[in-house]
Amino acid sequence: MKIIGVIAEYNPFHNGHYYHLKKIKEEYKPDAVIITMSGNFVQRGEPAIFDKWSRTEMALKGGADIVIELPTVFATSTAEVFAEAAVNLLGEIKIVNYLSFGVEEKREKELKKIAEILMQEPERFKELLKINLKKGLSFPSAREAALIEFLKKDIPEDELSILLKKPNFILGIEYCKALLKNKYPIEILPVLRKGSDYHETELKPLPSATAVRRFLKDNGSEVDVINRKELKDSLPYFTLEVIKRELEMKKGPIFFEDFEEIIFALLLKMSHDDLTSFFDVKEGLDKRIVKALKKSKNLQELIENIKTKRFPETRIRRILIQILLGITKKDLNNRKPQYIRILGCSKKGFAYLKEIEKKTDLPIITKAKDFSKIKGESRKIVEKDILASDIYSLVRPSKDQRIFGLDYYNKIIIS
């Protein structure tokens, strides 16, 4: 049995994602493809542009057989936590034996070598990391510089520097590190990424998700926007159909700025001690947040007033989303998901869902009553998923769509 796992956000599902799923099906001919997908909030520190059920539908129509939700506490954390928790989730369902992900350069040897160093943390590497942090570099920049120095005899400095600036390659390293750390019998299947770079903002036939979101934000949320040629060329027909429905029902799109007043209200009530309870608030960042709050009129100003070379914008955005959802350090003590939340299945996927039920030790949630299976500390984690859906609903374009408890009411998507 060949089961390929994919870790994704599909924010939204575009031609590049479609290419990836078709490529792994054509090249590796798996029995099934299982997606671990972020829910209503994502790792970049922002809400998903459309909710997790609509994006699940896109994924299933694009070739996924099962879509599992990555718990919100992990989906909104650092790349390291996000990757480790997602790999753990795929590992704990006990039937995945391959992990596929897109990379800007297909350098498997380098991926594994760097992952090994980051997992083992040799003394010399740790020394170099400390030196770079003392220089005031952000952790990612300090780690990059330490790796370049540590590996200069094995990988040319200019090559490694380029690789370590590629977002998908960096995420691939984190996946490999998590596989090594947890000793899952899962092999990697990197696929060469085609089309736009991760951060590129111009729409192309193989776009970045950033470009799609930017286009929808800049061109309004009226249904007519889906008839624009740029969007039609960038998205599969089924994604366009789902987006059309979401726009007609005024359920989306949702953007970070939609939560501005809620985030400001929460921050105004917080003390320094409250702020330091959040995972990424360290090294005096609580003081910067309080100071910036007093002179900022909107979210972007707030971020600009907080960020520094050491504290980049993505980190600040993640912190603000964690504050919005009440995700603290305690919620991230254990990076192994304690339940399997099924968002959707293809008809073929149901057979493999039964196989998962036989092999996994984790409770599986497919309907409302299954939430009662989750007890103890795990209950707090699943409650964050439910809260995230409710908070997400607060800013839907139509007040009629601001419905709470959707995690209980919505059935799994079947395609």
d(CA 137, CA 158): 19
Encoding tokens for residue 264?
Answer: 């400001």
Beta bridge partners of 34: 5, 66
pLDDT at position 84: 96
User: For residue 223, with 0-12 CB atoms within 10 Å meaning exposed, 13-18 middle and 19 or more buried, which class applies?
Assistant: middle
| Residues of the chain falling short of pLDDT 50 | none
Question: What is d(CA 79, CA 178) in angstroms, rounded to the nearest whole number?
Answer: 11
Calculate the CA 289 to chain-centre distance. 24
Quote the DSSP letter at residue 344: E
Residue with tokens 């510089």: 145
User: Which pLDDT score, from 0 to 100, does residue 137 have?
Assistant: 85
Strand partners, 414: 345
CA distance 241 to 244: 5
Q: Within 13 Å of residue 5, how many CA atoms lie on the same side as its CB?
A: 28
Distance between CA atoms of 218 and 245, rounded to whole angstroms? 19
Cα(124)–Cα(281) distance, integer angstroms: 27
Look at residue 199 in the predicted model and tell me its pLDDT: 63
> CA 29, CA 55: separation in Å to the nearest integer?
24
**Contacts with 169 (C-beta within 8 Å, 6 or more apart), sequence order:** 103, 104, 105, 107, 111, 163
First to last CA, the chain: 22
Q: For residues 202 and 152, give the distance between their C-alpha atoms in angstroms, rounded to a whole number.
A: 35
pTM of the model: 0.94
Predicted pLDDT at 198: 58
Per-residue pLDDT at 73: 96
Write down the pLDDT at residue 196.
61
CA 319 to chain centre: 15
Closest CA to 18 of 253, 257, 171, 195: 195
